[in-house]
Amino acid sequence: MTAGPDGGQARLEASLRTLELTVRRRLDGLLQGNHTGLLPGPGGEPGEARAYQPGDDVRRMDWSVTARTTTPHVRDTVADRELETWVAVDLSRSLDFGTAGTDKRHLVLAGLTAVAVLTAGGGNRLGAVVSNGADILRLPARGGLVHARGLVRRVATTPVAEEGVRGDLTAVLDQLRRPPRRRGLVAVLSDFLGEPVWERSLRALSGRHDLLAIEVVDPRELELPDVGTVVLADPETGRQREVTTTPLLRREFAAAASAHRDRVAQVLRRCGAAHLTLRTDRDWVADIVRFAVARRHAWAGAGRSSA
């Protein structure tokens, strides 16, 4: 979804508007006034003290109340009234791939639009760090619908890197660490292909921010069809290889793909990130709705259990 000559800009604007309306029609109002429903977090402002319960974070121990009452107490926190969201957007060449209803680049824009809708209002701000592998673009965090639309448009018009340029998700994440941003939400949009060398950078962000990982997937990355001899190409290196899709190769490919996805999911869990998967062959809006509702219910249940 990039602008081009002969009315390309007009088509881009129409496509982005349609995307926004699609997301907003099915998501708007779902979490308005309650951004903690998107991704539960402890908040940043001190609240009331209460008796310690097993499982409470000992770092929130209120020692003055504990000393005064001789009973362990922790101090709850309340969510910040304004949320600052930063989006790390991976636009490496591997995103320009899709064999179903859409391509992965479009899913990244869809996920970005959903984050903008779900965190909008109440003085919340949205910023982004975008990389195509060759260049990194920083878009400052600001509030308002006009800014959010401009941010999505700027991401959509990010040029595709030349063939052979590898993506670098670690560099994008490090841009969010230095200088330290205000505590808030960091959403990472990527296909997470390759070795998870970004784990250390993502884990460092988890000490200050709540994390949301949106993984985009195409079914052909999970299993090969029985199509005989084909040429497979790596868009980030330019390497090509001719293979014959024998039953053995298809089984080995599916097993390797499944193992990789399991490893990515495991690393994301270790980093404390909520994990949403969007697929080019599924209703991605429905997947986002289910994810958001589940997060809200989980957060509400946690609040009732600690009351």
In angstroms, rounded to a whole number, what is the distance separating the alpha carbons of residues 138 and 128?
6
The band of 14, judged by pLDDT with boundaries at 50, 70 and 90, is confident
Q: What pLDDT score does 132 carry?
A: 92
pLDDT over 70 at 36, yes or no: no
Cβ pair 61, 74 in contact under 8 A: yes
Residue 170 makes CB contacts below 8 A (sequence gap 6+) with: 197, 198, 200, 201
Among all chains, which residue has been given the structure tokens 């999505």? 152
User: pLDDT per residue over 197-237, tens digit each?
Assistant: 999 999 999 888 999 999 999 999 999 989 899 888 777 77
Cβ pair 224, 253 in contact under 8 A: yes
